[in-house]
Amino acid sequence: MGRKNGKTMRKKGKKHGIFFGITSRTLMAISAGLLLLSYLSSYVNPAKAWFMTLFGLLYAPILTVNPVLLVWALFRRSRAFIIPLVAILPSVFIIGKYYRPASGTVSEDERDLRIITYNVGRFSLSQDESFSSWKECRDSVMEYLKSRDADIICLQEFQSESVEAMTSYLGRTMKGYRINYFVNEGPGYCSGNVTLSRTPVRNKGRISFENSADLAFYTDHEVGGDVLRVYNCHFQSYGISLSRPAESMEADYKKTVRETEDKMKRSIIRRPEQVEQVMESIDSCPVGAIVAGDFNDTPMSYTYYRLCRGRKDSFEEAGSGSGATYSRLKPFLRIDYVLFPDIYDAVLHKVEQKKYSDHYPVEAVINMK
């Protein structure tokens, strides 16, 4: 009787082991497959397959699953460890776009160009509850920017009561800076992109995006005897509010899901069209071009892939720690960038965790030698 029970137990254990092995290998294959799709997302135009962008957007959390599975497989002495291992290997060359170890200090010289890009969120998305009004938030942003003493400052979602009020305010608070802007106007407000510069500006031009309030524009700057073009970009946002009360979303769950899906799909499809418009301008530009701003896309995206061609990323060159720039989903989302011609070098990249907006300001110092 004992032998019979023993055989039965061994059979059950064997079946359980086989089932467990198949399940774990399936999980590893799925995780590896998702990671592979996230690698490919950068090279696929979302206009042809919009859903591929989602895999790039989720690259960081997908990546974290595979090392866990690798360690688990090694602990179990399973030969299936090769699946997550092979999947992880390409990330050795990619992880530096998201996280970099601390680097030593680099001295700056007179040929360096200090540039800041900052989506100020219309001064109404502050996480600092001490502000009693958007104007108080605006004043704090300006004080911070003055303290950084940058050569060029690119601002997105800058809002004011009117163009006249905006230029008057900037003229008072940012003395010594030239003011260039392109904004959309409505009853009692204006909102758009502003570029402030200590360098002389020779020329400027707007790149309007169809069916979108977002925009990009360029300014041509005299820097050390040379001319350098700076693009101040704000590409299509998802338009999804992360501060919406949970009760209102639960009240009509299906409608919320449908609206969110529509917004994501629309923004994913529009961004590559906007990027191509900027690329057309860059390709016809006779001088070197810096591309800065809020791209609303991660480093694992078609947007980043296209705009980085022929340019370096200041974070990859001189950043340290997490590069996240969107405060509400850190540490995963880096969507604000300073990209510059590959003939130059970055000696500093800094993300200040200021609570004046839902974005953090990004500061880069570029050596122009």
Residue type, 204: K
Select from 367, 358, 301, 256 the least CA-distant residue to 42: 301
Block residue for tokens 């079946």? 15
CB atoms closer than 10 angstroms to residue 98: 23
Task: Give the DSSP letter string of 136-156.
Answer: HHHHHHHHHHHHHT-SEEEEE
Residue type, 113: L
Rg of the chain, C-alpha, whole Å: 24
pLDDT in tens, 45-101: 998 999 999 999 999 999 999 999 999 999 988 889 999 999 999 999 999 999 998
Separate counts of helices (H) and strands (E) for the chain: 10, 14
Is the separation of the CB atoms in 232 and 247 below 8 Å? no
Is the separation of the CB atoms in 98 and 322 below 8 Å? yes
From the number of C-beta atoms within 10 Å of its C-beta (0-12, 13-18, 19+), residue 347 rates as: buried
Task: Give the DSSP letter string of 92-143.
Answer: GGTGGGTEE---------TTEEEEEEEE-GGG---S-TT-SSHHHHHHHHHH
Q: Measured between alpha carbons, how far is 182 from 194 in angstroms, rounded to an integer?
A: 7
For the chain, how far is it from start to end, CA to CA, in angstroms?
87
Q: Measured between alpha carbons, how far is 124 from 133 in angstroms, rounded to an integer?
A: 8
- Phi, psi torsion values for 356, nearest 5 degrees: -80, -15
Q: Where are the beta strands (DSSP E) in 200-273?
A: 201-208, 215-223, 226-234
**100-367 CATH pick, 1.25.40.80, 3.60.10.10, 3.40.228.10, 3.30.365.10:** 3.60.10.10
Is the separation of the CB atoms in 349 and 317 below 8 Å? yes
pLDDT at 3: 54
CB atoms closer than 10 angstroms to residue 351: 21
- Phi, psi torsion values for 260, nearest 5 degrees: -65, -45
Is the separation of the CB atoms in 278 and 293 below 8 Å? no
pLDDT at 46: 93
CA-CA-CA-CA torsion sign (290, 292, 296, 301): positive
User: Which parts of the chain sit beneath pLDDT 70?
Assistant: 1-21, 103-111, 240-253
Residues contacting 341, CB < 8 A, separation 6+: 288, 289, 290, 310, 311, 312
Q: Measured between alpha carbons, how far is 111 from 46 in angstroms, rounded to an integer?
A: 39
User: Alpha carbon 61 to chain centroid distance?
Assistant: 15
